Amino acid sequence: MSGVASQPRWQHYVLLREERLRRFWQDHFARGERSLLFVLGWGFDPRMCLGVQLVLASGGTGARDVLALELREGAASPSLTHQNLISRNWTELQALVQGRSKISVRPIEFWSAEGRRVSSQSARDLFSSAGSLAGYTDLVVDISAMPRSIYFPLLARILYFLDNAPPSEAPPVNLHVLVAEDPALDAGIREEGIDKEAEFMASFGGGFDQEATQTPKVWIPLMGEHRTTQFDRIHERVDPGEVCPVLPSPSRNPRRGDDIIIEYQRVLFDELRLDPKEFLYASEQNPFEVYRQLRTAVLHYGEVFKLLGGCKVALSTLSSKLMSLGALLVAYELKQANFDIGVAHIECQGYTINSAETNPELVGLWLSGESYGP
């Protein structure tokens, strides 16, 4: 607790949407030559190429390298039933970058040779050091087609490298995150073959894997549709004494929070006997508001349990990608301050999608670099 800054790291932030985001990239590239690395997930998600299309169309000079992460979920993954969508996305990506940049592919293994889950470790280790980013002025990570187990450890490792880079006369590398947000589509992407047990993501164990102690445990799940099985299994893994659900409000669908409560009524009220007054509400559209809400809640629990030696807090993201980013920022910042905070997550064998129709809103976050000063 003593290492936690009194002011939130992202108290002031850059969050842009659609036309303002488009103008930002045009202005950003117009200020001088920029060498950019664009990282995206290669999968079936119809939103995969929207971000790179915007960036490549924004002009400017300098490198525009594209790194596609090949998500190797295994030969039995249900995602492979959408091979036609995966191939279509690859064809579209090649057409977008033709004559403008180069594409490289890096595999992200989901399973070890011994049959262990290693997806979050694979993503964490994608970049081995800050030197891996040398020569770039800007790094863009598009999470639109990435699962949480990939973009959480990946972004956390990149932030760590940038935060601990040796002093240099050159401007700091800018870290941007893009997401084509469509909560309705996210809700329509079903997780198939859910694992029997939840685990903690690489780099975010939060001390939960240590020997059992009397330290109080708090669980803060960000709620989303069609995740009741995941909720139950993560709850069993964390085994919390306190549960504080977070609901999306305001949201595109004004009734979304109410619908989620109805879906989870059994577990929230009949089993856990939670008081609705203890729920948190955070904007579906603003990850930085989610970050502020969660940060305040986590530090509050730390103060409440201070006389008992503190507490361990687990976050879980069963929500849309924008809300999940807010949880990532909290987990990263407080972990760097030596707060016992973890991210409990449960994997699946793969994904299926009901419909490839989407009505996304392209959103950009600037997380680190020139805009935040020295």
Question: pLDDT tens, 282-314?
Answer: 999 999 999 999 999 999 999 999 888 889 999
Residue 253 has pLDDT above 90, yes or no: no
With 60 as the cut, is the pLDDT of residue 237 above it? yes
Has residue 339 got a pLDDT over 80? yes
For position 311, which CATH number holds? Answer: 3.40.50
- Has residue 1 been placed in a domain? no
Asked whether residue 119 falls in the same domain as residue 235, the answer is no
Q: What's the pLDDT score for residue 165?
A: 82
Q: Are residues 201 and 69 in the same domain?
A: no
- List, for residues 4-57, the tens digit of each pLDDT value: 767 899 999 999 999 999 999 999 999 999 999 999 999 999 999 999 999 999
Place of tokens 């490289």: 104
Query: Do residues 253 and 155 share a domain?
Result: no
Number of domain units in the chain: 2
Q: Could you give the percent of the chain with pLDDT greater than 90? A: 71
Give the CATH number, domain containing residue 49: 3.40.50.11700
Residue 328 lies in a domain: yes
| Residues 342 and 359 placed together within one structural domain of the fold | no
What is the tens place of the pLDDT at every residue in 171-204? 789 999 999 988 778 778 888 899 999 999 988 9
Residue 111 forms part of a structural domain? yes
More confident residue, 1 or 106: 106
3 lies in some domain: no
Q: Residues 259-278: what's their mean pLDDT?
A: 93
Per residue in 60-70, pLDDT tens?
A: 999 999 999 99
Kindly state whether residues 27 and 168 are assigned to the same domain. yes
SS3 labels along the chain: CCCCCCCCCCCCCEEEEHHHHHHHHHHHHHCCCCCEEEEEEECCCCCCCHHHHHHHCCCCCCCEEEEEEEEECCCCCHHHHHHHHHHHHHHHHHHHHCCCCCEEEEEEECECCCCCECHHHHHHCCCCCHHHHCCCCEEEEECCCCCHHHHHHHHHHHHHHHHCCCCCCCCCCEEEEEEEECHHHHHHEEEEEECCCCEECCCCCCCCCCCCCCCCEEEEEECCCCCHHHHHHHHHHHCCCEECCEEECCCCCCCHHHHHHHHCHHHHHHHCCCCHHHCEEECCCCHHHHHHHHHHHHHHHHHHCHHHCCCEEEEEECCCHHHHHHHHHHHHHHHHCCCCEEEEECCEEEEEECCCCCCCEEEEEEEECHHHCC
Residue 221: name the closest of 290, 127, 173, 161 by CA: 290
Report whether 226 contacts 363 (CB < 8 A). Answer: no
Segment 136-141 mean pLDDT: 96
Bridge pairing between strands 341-345 and 199-200: antiparallel
pTM: 0.93
pLDDT of residue 136: 94
Query: Considering the chain, what is the average pLDDT of its residues?
Result: 91
Q: Do residues 301 and 341 share a domain?
A: yes
Which residues constitute the domain of residue 71?
Answer: 14-182+355-372
Q: CB within 8 A of 90, min separation 6: which ones?
A: 42, 68
